[in-house]
Amino acid sequence: MGPDEEELDRRPIAQIARAYADGARTDPAGARATAVAALVDLVKREPAAADAPAALRMLGRFLGVPEEAARAPAVWRDLASRLPDGPTRAAAAGAWVRALCDLERWEEGRAAAREAEPWAGPDAGRVPFGQVVATAEIRSKLKPGREPPPLEAKALDGRTLSIRALRGRVVLVEFGTTANPDWAAEFPHRLAVHQAARERGFEVLSVSLDGDPARLRDWLADRKVPWPTACDGKGPDGPAPRAWAVTGTCSFLLDRKGVVRHADLRGRAALEKAVEALLAEPPPPRKDNGEK
């Protein structure tokens, strides 16, 4: 081992990592708790040290395991509150907010975002913590088994597209842009499944993130896409993508009740299998007023 390697090996963060590796062989939970305490102490003592970012990353890995999720927000909040202003404090504050989002404790997350915002410093490119919470809350509703937020958009042909209006049918909601080859690559698969299952209750609701609706119209016509596609030219800043916190190509398959059942299915076989399974499920009962 050369002098530089010996120096690296003596760094506190390396010593913490070695101690954890040794202790985890017999007592993983105890070793993890000891490592968390040591990392917190290291960052508090030397928040501006070169090792601080690495120490925060390691701390995040330890606190990110399911066994530590419940206490992670308190650890991050205590650490952030004790640090001087600077990048290390900002990073710890952000980790606090995200830890609450991971637990879906939204009211606490919003309160934490308000408290932590002054700790974040003047970074102009940073996403405000309140927006982090809002985005995470929306995306939590897009997980399989949950009902997504309302979605309405104006199609290129002038029609209003709405997932509410399609309740009772199996619906693939897709977002994409012609600049992304993955979006174009899925069209043949979706066209085949749509053609085979449309009469039995399968629909596609497409929202384009392109900035040029006229160009998109030609692009869709060349590919003979039969379902309506929305595009307002605003990209991810349009109301429909913002309603679902979408920034790029993605898709969600909804069942007849309007519940998300799958996300980002790729290829014809996977889509066809999922659609057929959902079409075999009974439709939701009609309400007294006739609304599904």
- What is the per-residue pLDDT across 158-191, written as a single tens digit (0 to 9) for each? 999 999 999 999 999 999 999 999 988 999 999 9
Mean pLDDT of 107-126: 89
Mean pLDDT of 75-90: 95
d(CA 164, CA 152): 8
**Model confidence at 9, in pLDDT bands (50, 70, 90)?**
low
Mean pLDDT of 62-66: 96
pLDDT of 1 reads 43
138-174 b/e with 16+ CB inside 10 Å = b? beeebeeeeebeebebbbbeeeebebeebbebbbbbb
**Model confidence at 23, in pLDDT bands (50, 70, 90)?**
very high
pTM for the model: 0.86
- Checking if the pLDDT of 69 tops 90, the result is yes
Report the percent of the chain where pLDDT is more than 70: 94
Domains of the chain (ranges; CATH) run 3-140 (1.25.40), 152-279 (3.40.30.10)
d(CA 204, CA 225): 10
pLDDT of 287 reads 63
51-75 b/e with 16+ CB inside 10 Å = b? bbeebbebbbebbeeeebeeebbeb
- What is the per-residue pLDDT across 186-225, written as a single tens digit (0 to 9) for each? 999 999 999 999 999 999 999 999 999 999 999 999 988 9
**Model confidence at 123, in pLDDT bands (50, 70, 90)?**
confident
**Model confidence at 124, in pLDDT bands (50, 70, 90)?**
low
Measure the CA dihedral 155/160/162/168, to 10°. -110
- What is the per-residue pLDDT across 219-276, written as a single tens digit (0 to 9) for each? 999 988 999 999 999 999 999 999 999 999 999 999 999 999 999 999 999 999 999 9
pLDDT of 10 reads 62
pLDDT of 283 reads 84
pLDDT of 121 reads 81
Taking Cα atoms as reference points, which of 100, 86, 73, 78 lies closest to residue 46? 86
Q: What is the DSSP letter of 200?
A: G
